[in-house]
Amino acid sequence: MLEQSQTEARERAQQAAQETATEARTQLGRRAFDALEEYFPEEAEQRQQNNRGQLLAVGFAIGFVLGILVGR
């Protein structure tokens, strides 16, 4: 019984550590992008424009496929 409790506690601790590490990596990534946008605003704007263009193309493709599936 004690071994099982210790194993469960160890697993919970490992899971909590993994969640904390994932959250820390996410925050680090966000801060890195923020810093890049601050120091390289022209490149950041170009990347955002490229992303908008890609999203527009994806939206048209999804709309086209849905139109075919719905039977328009």
Structure confidence by residue, pLDDT tens digits, 9-51: 889 999 999 999 999 999 999 999 889 888 888 988 898 899 9
In order of 9, 33, 68, the CA distances from 61 in angstroms are 49, 29, 11
Q: Decide if 44 contacts 37 (C-beta within 8 A).
A: yes
Which of 1-5, 24-28, 67-71 shows the highest mean pLDDT?
Answer: 24-28
Q: What is the structure's pLDDT at 72?
A: 63
Phi and psi angles of residue 71, each rounded to the nearest 5 degrees, phi first: 100, 30
Look at residue 40 and give its three-state secondary structure.
coil
